[in-house]
């Protein structure tokens, strides 16, 4: 796949910060804080060495963290207007039509007793995006016992972390193989009501398809990140990609709205 790391990269996927879904909307303050302060506020994953910001946005290296910071600082006040695709370097960050129809992944057997639950949640969350747009996620179960970020037989791996810094996180279509993973925290296996594991994965797979956080479209949400995105639909405060704690209106589980479906269809017709 293409690695197109030019501007800010947002990776992530997951949803939220603490175990019960109250991520701190720290992004809006990046305009006042120094890079050093911003870096100190980011969670550095011990496993990958990468950084997680804005709840579930994964930045594989410090230089990418700095780019993200600089873009957030320079982008304030230039928001455009809903489902929004990651847009950088003058182009959409998305899969080609053929890649989009073969998004292969493995689910690590290291999930142990949660393995089957993760397999099923991935399948059902993927099915919702597949019903909306011309995309296809393919579970390659033969790779599950060797499901690492070095496995080149799949596009991405699904793995577990014990970190409680987020419920899950993902990646964007321009990430290299090593950084293309959906990481699910063991926190997600507890009661995360009103969310469900499926709902969290629906959100994460939205990032995998290239969708940004909906709440970064308006500075008034209090969770503005940057302007590296392009609108696909009108702003949707109920979007599956919108954190409820950022002035979102979806108070139940994270579900695709009709606007999300049409935005996905617009990107992957």
Cα 130 to chain centroid, rounded: 17
Q: How far is the CB of 75 from Zn ion (least distance, A)?
A: 18
Q: How far is the CB of 123 from Zn ion (least distance, A)?
A: 20
- Residue with the two structure tokens 């496995």: 151
What are the counts of helices (DSSP H) followed by strands (DSSP E) for the chain? 6, 11
Q: How far is the CB of 109 from Zn ion (least distance, A)?
A: 26
User: CB-wise, 147 or 182, nearer to Zn ion?
Assistant: 182
Q: What are phi and psi of 38, to 5 degrees?
A: -60, -45
CA distances from 87 to 64, 250, 253, 257 (A): 16, 25, 27, 22
Contact between 260 and Zn ion per CB under 5 A: no
Pick out residues in 3-22 that bind Zn ion (CB under 5 A).
13
CA distances from 12 to 15, 22, 109, 141 (A): 8, 16, 22, 24
Closest chain position to Zn ion (CB): 56
User: CB-wise, 13 or 84, nearer to Zn ion?
Assistant: 13
241: nearest Cα among 268, 208, 209, 215:
215
Compute the distance between CA of residue 240 and CA of residue 212 in angstroms, rounded to an integer. 10
CA distances from 100 to 78, 87, 104, 165, 176 (A): 30, 17, 10, 30, 16
Give the chain's length: 269
User: CB-wise, 56 or 130, nearer to Zn ion?
Assistant: 56
Compute the distance between CA of residue 260 and CA of residue 5 in angstroms, rounded to an integer. 26
User: CB-wise, 13 or 205, nearer to Zn ion?
Assistant: 13
Site string for Zn ion, 22-61 (x = CB under 5 A): ----------------------------------x-----
User: CB-wise, 53 or 154, nearer to Zn ion?
Assistant: 53
User: CB-wise, 157 or 204, nearer to Zn ion?
Assistant: 204
Q: What are phi and psi of 42, to 5 degrees?
A: -80, 155
Site string for Zn ion, 54-93 (x = CB under 5 A): --x-------------------------------------
Q: How far is the CB of 148 from Zn ion (least distance, A)?
A: 23
Q: How far is the CB of 241 from Zn ion (least distance, A)?
A: 7
# of chain residues touching Zn ion (CB under 5 A): 2
Q: How far is the CB of 144 from Zn ion (least distance, A)?
A: 25
DSSP of 80-111, one letter per residue?
A: ----EEEEETTEE----HHHHT-EEEEE-GGG
User: CB-wise, 160 or 239, nearer to Zn ion?
Assistant: 239
Q: How far is the CB of 115 from Zn ion (least distance, A)?
A: 24
* Contact residues: Zn ion, CB under 5 A: 13, 56
């Amino acid at each position: 796949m293409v690695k197109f790391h030019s501007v800010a990269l947002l990776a992530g996927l997951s949803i939220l910060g603490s175990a019960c879904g109250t991520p701190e909307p720290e992004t809006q303050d990046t305009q006042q804080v120094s890079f050093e302060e911003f870096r100190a506020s980011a969670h550095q994953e011990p496993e990958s060495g990468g950084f997680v910001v804005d709840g579930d946005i994964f930045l594989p290296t410090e230089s990418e963290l700095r780019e993200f910071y600089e873009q957030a600082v320079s982008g304030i006040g230039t928001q455009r207007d809903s489902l929004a695709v990651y847009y950088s370097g003058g182009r959409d960050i998305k899969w080609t039509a053929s890649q989009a129809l073969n998004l292969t992944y493995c689910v690590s057997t290291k999930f142990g007793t949660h393995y089957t639950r993760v397999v099923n949640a991935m399948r059902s969350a993927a099915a919702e995006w597949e019903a909306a747009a011309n995309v296809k996620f393919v579970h390659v179960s033969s790779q599950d016992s060797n499901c690492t970020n070095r496995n080149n037989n799949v596009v991405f791996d699904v793995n577990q972390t014990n970190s409680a810094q987020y419920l899950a996180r993902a990646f964007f279509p321009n990430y290299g193989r090593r950084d293309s993973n959906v990481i699910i925290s063991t926190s997600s296996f507890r009661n995360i009501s009103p969310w469900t594991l499926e709902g969290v994965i629906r959100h994460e797979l939205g990032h995998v398809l290239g969708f940004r956080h909906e709440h970064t479209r308006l500075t008034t949400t209090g969770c503005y990140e940057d302007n590296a995105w392009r609108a696909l639909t009108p702003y949707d405060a109920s979007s599956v990609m919108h954190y409820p704690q950022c002035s979102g209106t979806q108070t139940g589980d994270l579900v695709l709205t009709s606007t999300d479906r049409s935005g996905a269809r617009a990107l992957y017709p």
